[in-house]
């Protein structure tokens, strides 16, 4: 069993998630495009998808911030019929931004299909609303200020923002294909 006639890679529009503080200062930003290969068939039947993932445009973190990105592909689905299958898979991008105070996560999902089409699912790709200047803040505990001071000092001493990322990909292929060496014409 061999798949052939692959096309692509196809790519989506560009998406971006940016986090700002209450003064409008950019803290972190992640920009990407979804990419996938499509159109693979088995003996002229079906349209399958493989190598679904992302192509990163920008990964930025301000000195005191952390940007964590997780990319995973969810379980493949048949969007066609049993006689003429169209494989598809949801690719999910989860972006988290955090510093010494809080962590915020936003998620964006795109369904990519073996016929080369795609459909945007839930996607929080707009900017996070900054906290209003002058909004009521909790009482300050002096011991917390000392701990925060240590964190800020360590960030300055290290002089490096951090980027943690993990990448996963999946394919929608015919039943019985158990090893990538069974596939051809990538």
* Per-residue pLDDT tens digits for 76-105: 999 999 999 999 999 999 999 988 778 889
At 138 the pLDDT is 46
Which stretches in the chain have pLDDT values below 50? Answer: 127-163, 186
| Nearest-angstrom CA–CA distance, 116 and 113 | 6
At 21 the pLDDT is 84
Q: How far is CA 25 from CA 22, 93, 126, 160, in A?
A: 7, 23, 16, 18
Task: With CA atoms as reference, report the closest residue to 48 among 181, 177, 161.
Answer: 177
Locate tokens 């898979």: which residue? 89
């Amino acid at each position: 069993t061999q798949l052939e006639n692959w096309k692509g890679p196809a790519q989506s529009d560009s998406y971006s998630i940016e986090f700002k503080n209450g003064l409008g200062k950019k803290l972190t930003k992640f920009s990407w495009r979804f990419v996938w290969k499509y159109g693979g068939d088995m003996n002229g039947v079906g349209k399958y998808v493989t190598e679904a993932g992302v192509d990163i445009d920008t990964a930025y973190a301000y000195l005191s911030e952390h940007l964590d990105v997780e990319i995973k592909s969810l379980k493949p689905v048949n969007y066609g019929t049993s006689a003429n299958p169209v494989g598809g898979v949801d690719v999910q991008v989860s972006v988290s931004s955090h510093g010494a105070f809080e962590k915020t996560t936003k998620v964006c999902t795109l369904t990519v299909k073996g016929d080369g089409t795609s459909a945007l699912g839930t996607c929080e790709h707009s900017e996070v609303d900054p906290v209003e200047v002058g909004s009521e803040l909790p009482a300050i505990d002096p011991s917390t200020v000392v701990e925060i001071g240590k964190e800020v000092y360590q960030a300055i001493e290290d002089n490096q923002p951090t980027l943690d990322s993990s990448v996963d990909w999946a394919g929608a292929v015919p039943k019985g294909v158990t090893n990538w060496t069974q596939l051809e014409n990538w």
